[in-house]
Amino acid sequence: MAFNPAEIPGLPAEELARRCDPAELPFGATDEIEGLDQLIGQDRAMDAIRLAAEMRHRGFNLFVLGPTGTGRRSAVDRLLAEQAQKLPVPDDWAYVNNFDAPDKPRALRLPPGTAQRLRGAMQGLVDDLAIDIPALFESDEYQTQRRALDEEYGERQETAMADFVEKAKAENVALLRTPMGFMLAAIRDGKVVKTEDYDKLDEAEQQAIDEKIARLQEELAKVLREAPKLDKELRGKIEILHASMAERAVSARVGELKAEFCDIAAACAYLDDVHKDMIANAELFLAAQANAKSGPFPEAIRKYHREPPFERYVVNVMVSRDGPEAGGAPVVAEDLPTLDHLTGRIEHVSQMGALITNFTLIKPGALHRANGGYLVLDARRVLTEPFAWEALKQCLKNRSIAITSMAERLSMVSTTSLQPDPIPLRVRVVLIGDRVLHALLVMLDPDFADLFKLQADFEESIDRTGDTVVPFARLIAAHAVRDGLKPFAAAGVARIIDEATRIADDSKKLTLHLGALSDLMREADHYAGEAGRARVEAEDVARAVREKDRRASRVKDRMQEAVTRGTILIDTDGAKAGQVNGLSVIGLGDFRFGRPSRITARCRMGAGKLIDIEREVELGGPLHSKGVLILAGYLAATYALDAPFSLHASLVFEQSYGGVDGDSASSAELYALLSALSELPVAQGFAVTGSVNQTGDVQAIGGVNEKIEGFFETCLTRGLTVRQGVLIPKSNVEHLMLRDDVVEAARAGRFRVIPVASIDEGIAILTGRAAGARDATGAFPEDSVNGRVEARLREYAEARRRFGRTGRGEEGGGGEGDAP
Could you give the residue numbers annotated as active site?
664, 707
CB atoms within 10 A of CB 350: 9
> Is the Cβ–Cβ distance between 584 and 704 less than 8 Å?
no
Tell how strand 686-688 and strand 579-588 pair up: parallel
How does DSSP classify residue 215? H
Contact 76, 432 (CB under 8 A): yes
User: Cα dist. 213→158, 169, 189, 198, 209 in Å?
Assistant: 21, 11, 17, 13, 6
Quick check: 140 and 179 in contact, CB under 8 A?
Answer: no
What distance in Å separates the CA atoms of residue 67 and residue 791, rounded to the nearest whole number? 52
Helix, coil or strand: residue 761:
helix
What proportions of the chain, in percent to the nearest 5, are helix, strand and coil? 50, 15, 30
Please check whether residue 33 is in contact with residue 503, taking contact to mean a CB–CB distance below 8 angstroms.
no
Stated as kind and residue range, the H or E segment containing 323 is none
Other C-beta atoms within 10 Å of 23: how many?
A: 9
Q: Residue type at 463?
A: D
Neighbours of 527 (CB within 10 A): 18
Q: If we measure between CA atoms, which residue out of 702, 705, 696 comes closest to residue 726?
A: 705
Q: Which residues contact 62 (CB under 8 A, 6 or more apart)?
A: 48, 49, 52, 428, 429, 430, 431, 452, 454, 455, 456
CA distance 72 to 74: 6
Residue type, 733: V
Query: Do the Cβ atoms of 46 and 773 come closer than 8 Å?
Result: no
CA distance 222 to 236: 22
